[in-house]
Structure 1
Amino acid sequence: MKKIVSLVVVLILMLNVSCDKCEEGDRATPASFFVAIIDATTDENVFENETFLPTQIVIKDLEDKLVPFRFIPNSNLIQIFPNTQNLVDNTIELTLNNPTTLTTEEIIITNDLSAKQEECYTTYKVENIQVPNNISNVVDGIYVIKI
């Protein structure tokens, strides 16, 4: 009888203990990049000088699907989370709108992604960010775009 109970306990332990080293909470940080939009004439951030409002930002891909983003109020930056389904030639359109002044700006941003398979998840990194229709440069990892 003791052998049967011991065998059952061992079987239960084997079924409950997985060799998988991945924990349920293990997730990769989503791929993203930061953008600052600057007025080309004044060199002021367009959200700081209230040329545009953070509530009027819309970011879409070429298939007209919304691209997730986060506006960071203390630094007036936009953190963009591009779609990771396509690794190359991704294009998004960032639209700024001010309904009071009836001003609209559209900024085209292209990027590629690299994928690295980890043990429990895939990590994506945004690469080759281009802003073909605007002057832009990278300052401390932030893409500064002049409009």
Structure 2
Amino acid sequence: MGKNKFHEGPGPSQRQLRVGETIRRALSEVLARGDVHDPELNRMSITVGEVRTSPDLKIATAYVLPLGGQGQDEVLQLLARNKGELRRMVAKKLTLKFSPDLRFQLDQTFDQMDETRRMLNQEVVRRDADAPDDIGEA
């Protein structure tokens, strides 16, 4: 079985987490200010929920979502089209020797939270969750 290069070992190192958060903030700032020379991208409001880096810090995957969830495919295309410019802008805010290659994916965490809320509101689940805990009773 091949290992996923983003999840080797016990999880991301402190350095990976720190660099990922720095990239997330820089990317969010660049997108919010509309610094990119692409009017189509600048007209969109994009949330950068998380950035994960590979162990060697050469690849940074940004998990993004357009405001309201509308135009997800368009957002990914626009970000990919402007990847080089975004990479240069983010690199100015980093103290790394090399700027990581940026990749973009849709942030699914909001969908997962909605699904979790939906499941917790189901009658069967609520009934089971509200049932008295009989563990430890003799």
Q: If the length of structure 1 is used for normalisation, what is the TM-score?
A: 0.27
Q: Which has the higher strand share?
A: 1
Q: Which has the higher helix share?
A: 2
Q: If the length of structure 2 is used for normalisation, what is the TM-score?
A: 0.28
